[in-house]
C-alpha cells in the first residue's frame, strides 16, 4: 500500500499542513465540510446525520460500554474468530504494518498484534480514528504494552483525505473491524473499499469484519439494550453537533428508535422528535422538525457470504478466506487486491 488512504490523497508522507495549508485553515476547511455534510443530511426528505458525529470522547466511551453489553454480540463473536484464526493468519500474512481504520479502543486488535508479534514480523501499528482524545489514550496504552512496536496514531476521517506516516513497511494488513463498513450504505461502502484497494500493494491484505443476517430479535436486542446505553450513544450525536457546529439541538426533545429494515437488510437508528421544533446551525437554513419526524443517525448493514463477496469484488478485492464465529453471527474476511491474484 502507498502511504495514502483512501479517497482523496495527499502526496507521499505529507499532511495538509505540510502541503502549505496552516492547521487553522485545515480546521476551518474541516468545519466547512462538516457543516455542509450535516446541512445536506438535514435537507433530505428522510433527515439524516453522518454517523462519524457519534464519536467524541463521550461517544467513544459509550460505544465501549455497548461492546460489553450482554445484548451486543458482535464484539464477542469477532473476538472469538480472531482468537481462533489469527495465529494461522499471522503466519500467512507476515505483515510488518497493521493499519486499522476506526480503531477505537483497539481491544480486539491486540489479538492481531499479539499474533503478528508472535510470528516475528510486526513493526508498526497505525490506528486511524476520528475520535482524537480517545485515540490518544488507546495509543498510550498500546505503547506501554507493546514497547517494541512503533505506534503511530492518525486522527482522521477515513472518508476524507488523510495521510499515513512515511514509515509503514510492507506487507500491510488493513484491519477494518466491528462491521464499521456496515455503517456505509451502498454505494458508499464500495467507494470506501475501492479507495482502500487502490492504495494496497501486492502482498497486502484487508481483514474485514461484517455482521451477518440473523434472527431479527437478536438484532433488535443488540440495538435496544435494556440499560439504555445505545439510546444515550444515539442521542450523543446531537451533543457533538452542538459542540462542533454551534447547533442548538435539545437532546431531551428526541427519543431513540432502532429497527430492522428487512428490505435493505439493515438496522436503522433514528432519533424521533418528541415535539415540533426548529433547530439552528450557523451557516445553514433553520431546520424544521415535526413532532414524530425522525432523523436517521446510523445504518448497520447485515450481510451474508454472497453479499460480502459481491461487495469485495465490486471494490476491486478478492475474498481469500472467510471465517465465522460458532453461532454464525459474525464474519471476518481476508481479501487481497484483485490484481494480486492475476
Is the separation of the CB atoms in 47 and 53 below 8 Å?
no
Nearer CB in complex with ligand SAM: 75/287: 75
What is the binding site for ligand SAM (CB under 6 A)?
A: 52, 55, 60, 63, 67, 75, 102-104, 108, 129-131, 157-159, 177-178, 180
Provide φ and ψ at 98, rounded to 5°.
-110, 125
Is the separation of the CB atoms in 32 and 40 below 8 Å?
no
**Contacts of 133 by beta carbon, 8 Å cutoff, 6+ apart:** 56, 57
Nearer CB in complex with ligand SAM: 103/258: 103
Nearer CB in complex with ligand SAM: 208/273: 208
| Shortest separation between residue 246's beta carbon and ligand SAM, angstroms | 21
| Shortest separation between residue 203's beta carbon and ligand SAM, angstroms | 24
| Shortest separation between residue 126's beta carbon and ligand SAM, angstroms | 13
Nearer CB in complex with ligand SAM: 260/273: 260
| Shortest separation between residue 72's beta carbon and ligand SAM, angstroms | 10
Exposure string of 25-46, with b = 16+ CB inside 10 Å and e = fewer, is eeeeeeeeebbebbeebbeeee
| Shortest separation between residue 51's beta carbon and ligand SAM, angstroms | 6
In terms of DSSP H, where are the helices of 106-173? Answer: 109-118, 132-145
Place of cell 421544533: 277
Query: 256-263 contacts: CB < 8 A, separation 24 or more?
Result: 256/224, 256/228, 256/230, 256/231, 257/294, 258/220, 258/223, 258/224, 258/230, 258/234, 259/220, 260/216, 260/219, 260/220, 261/299, 262/216
| Shortest separation between residue 21's beta carbon and ligand SAM, angstroms | 19
| Shortest separation between residue 149's beta carbon and ligand SAM, angstroms | 18
| Shortest separation between residue 128's beta carbon and ligand SAM, angstroms | 6
Nearer CB in complex with ligand SAM: 59/316: 59
Is the separation of the CB atoms in 219 and 185 below 8 Å?
no
For residues 265 and 214, give the distance between their C-alpha atoms in angstroms, rounded to a whole number.
10
H or E segment at 225? none
Nearer CB in complex with ligand SAM: 159/289: 159
For residues 89 and 280, give the distance between their C-alpha atoms in angstroms, rounded to a whole number.
51
Nearer CB in complex with ligand SAM: 47/52: 52
Is the separation of the CB atoms in 273 and 290 below 8 Å?
yes
For residues 200 and 195, give the distance between their C-alpha atoms in angstroms, rounded to a whole number.
9
Cis peptide before 187 (omega within 30 of 0): yes
Nearer CB in complex with ligand SAM: 189/273: 189
Nearer CB in complex with ligand SAM: 78/204: 78
Amino acid at each position: 500500500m502507498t502511504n495514502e488512504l483512501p479517497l482523496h490523497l495527499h502526496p507521499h508522507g505529507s499532511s495538509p499542513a505540510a502541503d502549505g495549508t496552516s492547521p487553522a485553515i485545515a480546521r476551518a476547511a474541516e468545519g466547512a465540510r462538516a457543516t455542509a455534510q450535516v446541512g445536506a443530511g438535514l435537507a433530505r426528505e428522510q433527515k439524516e446525520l453522518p454517523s462519524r458525529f457519534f464519536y467524541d470522547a463521550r461517544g467513544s466511551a459509550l460505544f465501549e460500554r455497548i461492546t460489553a453489553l450482554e445484548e451486543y454480540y458482535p464484539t464477542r463473536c469477532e473476538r472469538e474468530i480472531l482468537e481462533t484464526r489469527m495465529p494461522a493468519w499471522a503466519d500467512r500474512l507476515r505483515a510488518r504494518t497493521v493499519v486499522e481504520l476506526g480503531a477505537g479502543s483497539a481491544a480486539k486488535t491486540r489479538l492481531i498484534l499479539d499474533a503478528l508479534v508472535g510470528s516475528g514480523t510486526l513493526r508498526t501499528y497505525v490506528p486511524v480514528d476520528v475520535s482524537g482524545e480517545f485515540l490518544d489514550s488507546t495509543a498510550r496504552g498500546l505503547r506501554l504494552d507493546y514497547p517494541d512496536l512503533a505506534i503511530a496514531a492518525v486522527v482522521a476521517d477515513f472518508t476524507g483525505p488523510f495521510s499515513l506516516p512515511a514509515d509503514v513497511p510492507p506487507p500491510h494488513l488493513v484491519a477494518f473491524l466491528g462491521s464499521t463498513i456496515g455503517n456505509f450504505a451502498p454505494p458508499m461502502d464500495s467507494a470506501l473499499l475501492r479507495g482502500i484497494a487502490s492504495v494496497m500493494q501486492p502482498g497486502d491484505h484487508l481483514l474485514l469484519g461484517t455482521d451477518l443476517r440473523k434472527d431479527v430479535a437478536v438484532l433488535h436486542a443488540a440495538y435496544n439494550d435494556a440499560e439504555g446505553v445505545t439510546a444515550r450513544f444515539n442521542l450523543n450525536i446531537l451533543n457533538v453537533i452542538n459542540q462542533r457546529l454551534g447547533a442548538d439541538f435539545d437532546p431531551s426533545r428526541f427519543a431513540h428508535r432502532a429497527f430492522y429494515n428487512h428490505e435493505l437488510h439493515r438496522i436503522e437508528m433514528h432519533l424521533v422528535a418528541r415535539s415540533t421544533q426548529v433547530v439552528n446551525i450557523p451557516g445553514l437554513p433553520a431546520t424544521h422538525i415535526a413532532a414524530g419526524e425522525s432523523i436517521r443517525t446510523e445504518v448497520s448493514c447485515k450481510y451474508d457470504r454472497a453479499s460480502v463477496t459481491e461487495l469485495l469484488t465490486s471494490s476491486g478485492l478478492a475474498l481469500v478466506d472467510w471465517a465465522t464465529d460458532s453461532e454464525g453471527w459474525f464474519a471476518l474476511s481476508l481479501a487481497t487486491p484483485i490484481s494480486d491474484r492475476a
